[in-house]
Chains A and B, each alone.
Chain A
């Protein structure tokens, strides 16, 4: 029942000086010349201040009249006394004007007002996610801060959210999502994780106890150049957007660019391939910035890098078949984490070392972090197993984030309880 043009005009007026509180819009469809005349009589009564949205035109054609509150009784009595039937089209014009005004403001800004109105069930643009981060920090300044750890090839800021209840350089957990830009469920889950951490802290449940003694670092868009590219040019883009001399092809696989078995079997030396390792280790600023951060922090105890798809929980190594010294412990933690994940929706995960579970991959993130001494280094491959693959329907974002969170908590709690 909205008449947008008329309402918009009223909104324009309303914002200036006039109010339409209690005004109603009545509709009369005259069935006879007598009825038509009765309504036309009303038109002549200027003191009633009637506003004809649809003027009398002829029999059977609707007449719409905006009637100010003060004149309502009079007009209705006049119509009823003459046997002219009418209907109330709009019961309160002001209410509708208010609603329209809010809607217009909201759609012109295109931004949610706070992290409670943010839509976690949808995929978002880079700007929307960066805006979300700022809102989260603004709403929770004593818990959340935003760090810029570097800039991407195309000079986009690389932001990390720090969740901390105090202390100095506390032992920390690192989580990153979106290192491969086409894996959209991961950035979307990262956004959900950020909100979840804040909620747990507010309600003193879940990870609140972890935050008493540890900090959490969360990089939601680890590859912003690639992410922007998936939104504008190629939804299937995986790599960074760097150009290195000697090739027309663009981009380096950021999960082959780390200094662990760099350049060995399990990565490609061809710049035009998806697993191109880059000209040298840490050539990509997206990777180098994390390396620098981890080294200068010096107290990270768990490092979790999140990918999709395949439904796997993986620990090092990918570049060699030699098992890591902590293989047994990591395997047990994985079993527990996967059980927790499955408990929510029955989603089935496999787990194991990278090389035995998926394939040989060199220069990978968690191989490097493990070799730096971060024992609890894990990689997730989230939903699904290939039915939608990278194009996971948005309605699966929240279930995916929820179940993954249970697994993350197992890892975080284990790190807290097994400090080294």
Chain B
């Protein structure tokens, strides 16, 4: 308990790369949930030890593939009802995962537990600059209320600049 500020949690986490099992990264984090307010995102400080694998090849391949599409990519229900994700949509799924992390952070309180349930819809928007843009509708499952909430998020991505949420 931090008087006049809120509740602070100190965490030690081990992150595992789901695409490279066995590779873990140790993190230390401090999360401060603000007093009273449920509309302010918690403050997060995190440090990480260890290296994540390089995804440069795969990033480049994905980037070039999407840039060379004649028609803008559109997809829905990722994974589908049976849990399948077509291989060519896997990067789209992973990017949605990253974007959901941002949305979840912004909307978390001490009484919520969110997971990305499904990408309901995704639409690529071609841009004149070098970023890729994807407009997502994400379904977030909140464990305590059990609600599945649709959330619109616009994600920009670039192999060097990484992912940014531009609207949510």
Contact = CB atoms under 8 A, between A and B. Distances in A.
B107 to A, nearest CB: 16
Contact of B18 (A236, A387, A390, A394): A387
A268 B77 CA distance: 29
B83 A236 contact: no
Contact of B82 (A274, A310, A393): A393
A391 interface: yes
A231 B80 CA distance: 12
A386 interface: yes
Closest 8 CB pairs of A and B: A393-B83, A386-B115, A274-B146, A236-B148, A391-B83, A391-B79, A235-B81, A394-B82
Would you call the interface of chain B mostly helix, strand, loop, or mixed? loop
Contacts of B139: 236
A392 interface: yes
A163 B82 CA distance: 30
Contacts of A17: none
B84 interface: yes
B147 A391 contact: no
Contacts of B81: 123, 184, 230-231, 235, 391
A238 B141 CA distance: 12
A358 interface: yes
A387 B82 CA distance: 14
Given A236-B139, A393-B84, A388 B79 contact: yes
Given A236-B117, A236-B139, A392 B145 contact: no
Interface string B107-133: 000000001111000000000000000
Contacts of A310: 143
A274 B147 contact: yes
Interface centre among A274, A391, A393 (most CB of B within 10 A): A391
Interface of A: 122-123, 184, 230-231, 235-236, 238, 253, 268, 273-275, 310, 358-359, 386-394, 396
Nearest to B115: A386
Contacts of A122: 82
Contacts of A387: 18
Nearest to A239: B146
Contacts of A394: 82-84
B144 interface: yes
A184 B148 CA distance: 16
Contacts of A273: 145, 147
A392 B148 contact: no
Given A393-B82, A393-B83, A274 B145 contact: yes
B117 A390 contact: yes
Given A236-B117, A236-B139, A388 B83 contact: yes
A358 B143 contact: yes
B79 A275 contact: no
A217 B141 CA distance: 32
Interface in B132-155: 139, 141, 143-148
A393 B117 CA distance: 13
A359 B83 contact: no
A361 to B, nearest CB: 10
Contact of A393 (B77, B79, B146): B79
Nearest to A230: B81
Interface centre among A122, A235, A359 (most CB of B within 10 A): A235
12 contacts: A123-B82, A235-B77, A274-B145, A275-B145, A359-B143, A386-B115, A389-B117, A390-B141, A391-B79, A393-B84, A394-B84, A396-B83
B117 A391 contact: yes
Interface string B79-116: 11111100000000000000000000000000000011
Nearest to A358: B143
Nearest to A234: B148
A238 B77 CA distance: 18
A388 B82 CA distance: 10
A390 B139 CA distance: 12
B95 to A, nearest CB: 15
A275 B146 contact: yes
A184 B146 CA distance: 16
A359 B144 contact: yes
Nearest to B84: A393
A235 B78 CA distance: 12
Contacts of A389: 115-117, 141
Contacts of A235: 77, 81, 118
Contacts of A388: 79, 83
A109 B80 CA distance: 25
Interface centre among B18, B145, B148 (most CB of A within 10 A): B148
Nearest to A275: B146
A274 B148 CA distance: 9
Contacts of A268: 145
Interface centre among B77, B81, B83, B139 (most CB of A within 10 A): B83
A73 B37 CA distance: 92
Contacts of A236: 117-118, 139, 141, 148
A285 B115 CA distance: 31
Contacts of A184: 81
Contacts of B143: 310, 358-359
A310 B146 CA distance: 13
Contacts of B144: 359
A217 B147 CA distance: 31
A6 B146 CA distance: 55
A119 to B, nearest CB: 12
